[in-house]
């Protein structure tokens, strides 16, 4: 079903428009719905299941229904926005089409808003939410009054979205178009609908292999995204990782300015990181631009924070002014988030972390960072695979990514998009078998409640438990730590 948009529709015409979101409970969709509502539109939406996210939307005055047969689309709806996970034959898509209601994707709606702003788009297989949150925190500290939309909750910046000024109110760019910082996801090539003026590509790896046929195709998609950036003469800039982002394929023939960053000494911005004290510095032409102590552990977070700092400097913030917000950044929910502790049966204390990691690289670097930062007696990992096809395509990489864990517990695979046939081709036990073949201590426990009981009965003093995955597995971490889940 092709998407369609009424003529003359723009961010300036959102006031009092009635917009219906299909799949409103998703990370990006919920943030965009809030952003559009705060721009003056009347927003409603549906989702398949109730969640903490949908509850928070209701508290914001956004009507949410869990009936998706088309009946929840009110008669006066002007536009329907759907998430990338919604199939073309979804009942609400069919209903909208029959009623001739314009239908567009999440990425297209975000692109419409980006046209009216100095749009900063953060892309890459990993690190998007953290980098967007850090940059937004820096811009708020500098009183640039930014808009942002992030696919995660960051309490320090007020949640998952914000509507800022139409013009930058401070700094060297005062009076220029206001800044909008957002994530640009490569799934379904949706980021080709975005309108970046300044962009970041953190890294490029194999993912979304239910859509892409190969890594080469993924790289080409990122190259297509980069071509959306305006010329250097018109202020266009791409910041790209020196290593790990296939810059030699992505950047040739681009007309925007291109700068690189990373640990390599030949990067335009060389990042220097001492993990023992979390000290980070950035060299430019052999000279220090900035040094700070990073609150978040891990070399990946050193790179995320460095990218945010470099983008902020390019947006007109003095390097010296970046130290305080970088050192005061408290992190993002579900990104190496320390939730608390619980008392073990032996009378000792176990620490609980929650993390969104659902790709082999994310798992490996997160577990390494936790072991180095916390020095636990044992590192126990609960990992819920996210999507059957991803698990099948990357099975060997997944099995190898848990080398830093002393025990791995795998519940059922979280269903996302896959067909019934795909679901039957792989199971959580397949991952456990691979782990055991590699000598790991691993077991499949299907139900979350059974996993909680297992950990409560076997955890020992000094253990660190990290719960990982993009699905509802986060509830295990919150119940173990005895804390409520935070709403957006």
pLDDT, mean of each 10-residue run, the chain (488 residues): 56 83 89 86 93 88 94 93 89 94 93 92 95 97 94 88 88 91 93 96 92 94 97 97 97 97 98 95 96 94 97 96 96 91 94 93 93 94 94 92 96 86 91 94 96 96 96 94 65
Domain 337-481 has CATH 3.30.70.20: no
Query: How high is the pLDDT of residue 51?
Result: 84
Query: How high is the pLDDT of residue 162?
Result: 86
Task: State the distance between the two ends of the chain, measured CA to CA, in whole angstroms.
Answer: 31
Query: How high is the pLDDT of residue 153?
Result: 86
Query: How high is the pLDDT of residue 291?
Result: 98
Query: How high is the pLDDT of residue 4?
Result: 58
Give me the residue spans of the domains in the chain.
11-107, 117-327, 337-481
Query: How high is the pLDDT of residue 28?
Result: 81
Query: How high is the pLDDT of residue 160?
Result: 84
- pTM as predicted: 0.87
User: What CATH number belongs to 11-107?
Assistant: 3.40.50.720
| Residue indicated by tokens 């939309």 | 149
Domain 117-327 has CATH 3.40.1190.10: yes
């Amino acid at each position: 079903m092709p998407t369609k948009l009424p003529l003359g529709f723009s961010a300036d015409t959102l006031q009092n428009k009635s917009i219906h979101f299909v799949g409103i409970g998703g990370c990006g969709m919920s943030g965009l719905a809030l952003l559009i509502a705060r721009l003056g539109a009347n927003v409603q939406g549906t989702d398949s299941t109730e969640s903490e996210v949908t509850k928070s939307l209701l508290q914001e005055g956004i009507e949410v229904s869990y009936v998706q047969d088309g009946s929840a689309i009110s008669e006066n709806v002007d536009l329907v926005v759907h998430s990338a996970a919604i199939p073309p034959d979804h009942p609400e898509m069919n209903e909208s089409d029959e009623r001739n209601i314009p239908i567009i994707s999440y990425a297209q709606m975000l692109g419409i808003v980006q046209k009216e702003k100095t749009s900063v788009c953060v892309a890459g297989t990993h690190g998007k939410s953290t980098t967007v949150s850090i940059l937004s925190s820096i811009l708020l500290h500098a009183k640039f009054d930014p808009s942002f939309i992030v696919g995660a909750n960051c309490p320090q910046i007020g949640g998952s979205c914000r509507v800022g000024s139409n013009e930058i109110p401070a700094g060297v760019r005062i009076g220029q178009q206001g800044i909008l910082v957002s994530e640009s996801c490569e799934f379904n090539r949706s980021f080709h609908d975005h309108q970046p003026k300044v962009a970041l590509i953190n890294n490029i790896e194999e993912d979304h292999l239910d859509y892409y046929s190969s890594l080469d195709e993924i790289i080409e998609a990122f190259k297509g995204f980069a071509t959306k950036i305006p010329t250097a003469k018109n202020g266009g800039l791409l910041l790209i990782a020196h290593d790990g982002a296939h810059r030699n394929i992505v950047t040739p023939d681009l007309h925007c300015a291109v700068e690189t960053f990373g640990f390599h000494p030949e990067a335009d911005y060389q990042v220097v990181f001492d993990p023992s004290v979390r000290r980070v510095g950035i060299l430019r032409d052999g000279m220090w631009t900035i040094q700070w102590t990073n609150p978040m552990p891990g070399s990946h977070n050193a790179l995320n924070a460095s990218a945010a700092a470099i983008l902020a400097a390019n947006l007109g913030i003095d390097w010296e002014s970046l130290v305080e917000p970088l050192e005061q950044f408290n992190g993002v929910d579900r990104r190496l988030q320390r939730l608390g502790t619980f008392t073990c049966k032996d009378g000792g204390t176990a620490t609980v972390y929650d993390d969104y990691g659902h790709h082999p690289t994310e798992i490996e670097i997160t577990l390494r960072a936790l072991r180095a930062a916390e020095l636990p007696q044992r590192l126990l990992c609960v990992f819920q695979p996210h999507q059957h096809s991803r698990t099948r395509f990357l099975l060997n990489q997944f099995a190898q990514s848990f080398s830093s864990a002393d025990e791995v517990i795998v519940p059922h695979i979280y269903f996302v998009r896959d067909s019934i046939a795909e679901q039957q081709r792989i199971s959580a036990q397949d991952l456990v078998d691979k782990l055991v073949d590699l000598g790991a201590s691993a077991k499949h426990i299907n139900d979350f409640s059974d996993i909680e009981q297992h950990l409560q009965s076997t955890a020992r003093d000094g253990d660190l438990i990290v719960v990982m995955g993009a699905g509802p597995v986060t509830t295990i971490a919150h119940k173990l730590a005895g804390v409520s889940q935070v709403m957006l």
